[in-house]
A and B are shown apart, each in its own frame.
Chain A
Amino acid sequence: MLDLLAIHPAFMPLVIFFLRVTDMSLDTLRVLFVIRGRRPLAWILGFFQSALWVVAITSVLSNLDNLFNLVGYAGGFATGNVVGMLIEERLAIGFSHIRIISSRRGSAIAESIRQAGHAVTEIPARGKDGTVSVLNCSVKRRQVRAVQKSIAEIDPDAFVTVEDIRPLHRGYWRG
């Protein structure tokens, strides 16, 4: 338990805010790692988050008797949530599958993605107004942004979606 009574009441909302931000960032990260099936990371985060909860947040809970502390608490909870999401996006652990549908510039896009060192599978398909190309490309999550930029430069009208994948067998991954 933290002894929060030693803290000047004016700084209490701030202390509560930061404790809650830390706690909730860990919690959000944990949830996102659970969903991606990253067991060791989820375990470690769960351990630290519950330890922090017991040590810090329980003593915070008994100090929420005024409105400012409540604002710090609720604000910290909400902000920690978003901070956790931002950290997870920045870490960008894992792999993504990018699917590009382009009506005219499919081969040019494929060429440029290959130049950048990624692997692309091209599939001919039909859209409303005739032949289109469907390009499938699996990259590391942190490379998605760069790939999207190069696609947008070549064909701003391409339809691009991205999804999280777990590679099962092999694959060609640029380092």
Chain B
Amino acid sequence: MLSSPLKTFAPSTGVIGEGEGGRLDAMRIGYPIFTLLITIILACFVQFGGYELPPTPTVAWSALPGEWVPLLIFLLRTSDLTISTIRMLTIVQGRRTTAWLLALFQSSLFVTGVAGVLGDLDNPLNLVAYASGFAFGNVLGMAIESKIAPGNILLRITSSNLGEALTMQLRAQDYGVTELSGLGMMGTVHVMLTFIPRREIRGVKRQIMEIDPNAFITMKPVRLLQGGWKVLH
């Protein structure tokens, strides 16, 4: 028996990586060419159109009252590093479009806001604000990324005697579960594989713990190549 096609992942949700189909193949060269074209067009405007180059908007650090500068440095550095951290995690997951957009945003912010402060770090208070903004942004980026939690994850649940109940509970909520039987120290155990959205890990873990507090659960990021059950909540 096959699972109903209504509930399977559409192939185009293929998140990432080697398995991407034609649609994303077109985008492979899309970004570089798109950006290059814009840059060339701008260059032509300047060369042949006699356009004046508009100045880059930057934060006017010198115009600010001194006591606000450290705070502003902290905020700018925090937002810069938050984006940068999320971008790193996006790169690792292979999500190109998001990485491209975040990078565009981050570097614009860096040039307009953060770069101006680099020459202004002789004041120790500014330096502290800079460093703590850097550190805080790092942590904040990780926190935000785990809150948004894009993508899916593979859970492997090992339960010594409550495998049936766990499987039923998970299937009742439309999670796809594959059961394997294994041998543990005390006899037969159930090993269950289930592929769930990262966002729902907490809820699923709580339910498993309610049924079998002794279940052994591990998770690992995997990339979906094809197929699978889609959870409809």
Question: What residues of A have a CB within 8 angstroms of the CB of B148 in the complex?
Answer: none
> For chains A and B in complex, what number of residue pairs have CB atoms within 8 angstroms?
201
Seen from chain B, the residues whose Cβ lies within 8 Å of a Cβ on chain A are 1-3, 8, 17-19, 28, 31-32, 35-36, 38-40, 42-44, 46-47, 53-57, 87-88, 91-92, 94, 96, 99-104, 106-108, 111-112, 115, 154, 171, 176-180, 193, 195, 220-229
Question: Which one, B31, B36, B171, B221, contacts A82 given CB within 8 A?
Answer: B31
Interface size on A, residues (CB 8 A): 71
The CA-CA distance from A11 to B100 in the complex, in Å, is 23
Which residue of the partner chain, among B107, B220, B226, contacts A78 with CB atoms under 8 Å? B107
Known: A66-B55, A159-B227. 13 other contacts (CB 8 A): A10-B44, A13-B39, A31-B91, A64-B115, A65-B55, A68-B54, A78-B100, A81-B103, A84-B91, A85-B99, A86-B28, A92-B18, A160-B227
Give residues of chain A (58-79) contacting chain B, Cβ–Cβ below 8 Å: 61, 64-79
In the complex, what's the smallest C-beta–C-beta distance from A59 to chain B, in angstroms?
A: 13
Q: How long is the Cα–Cα vector from A75 to B38 in the complex, in angstroms?
A: 9
**A118 close to chain B: CB less than 8 A:** no
Complex Cα distance, B56 from A73, in Å, reads 12
A111 close to B (CB within 8 Å): no
B17, A17: Cβ atoms closer than 8 Å: no
* Interface check A45, CB cutoff 8 A: no
Residues of A within 8 A of B193 (CB): 99, 101, 125, 134
Q: Does A115 contact B (CB under 8 A)?
A: no
The listed residue with most B CB atoms (<10 A of its CB), out of A20, A61, A79, A156, is: A79
22 contacts between A and B (CB under 8 A): A9-B46, A10-B46, A10-B47, A12-B43, A24-B103, A32-B92, A64-B115, A66-B53, A70-B111, A71-B42, A79-B100, A82-B99, A99-B193, A101-B193, A101-B227, A103-B2, A127-B176, A127-B179, A144-B18, A161-B154, A161-B223, A163-B154
Given the contacts A125-B180, A163-B221, A78 and B101 also touching, CB distance less than 8 Å: yes
Q: A4 near B: Cβ within 8 Å?
A: no
Contacts of B223 in A (CB 8 A): 161-163
Asked if B115 and A61 make an inter-chain contact with CB atoms under 8 angstroms apart, the answer reads yes
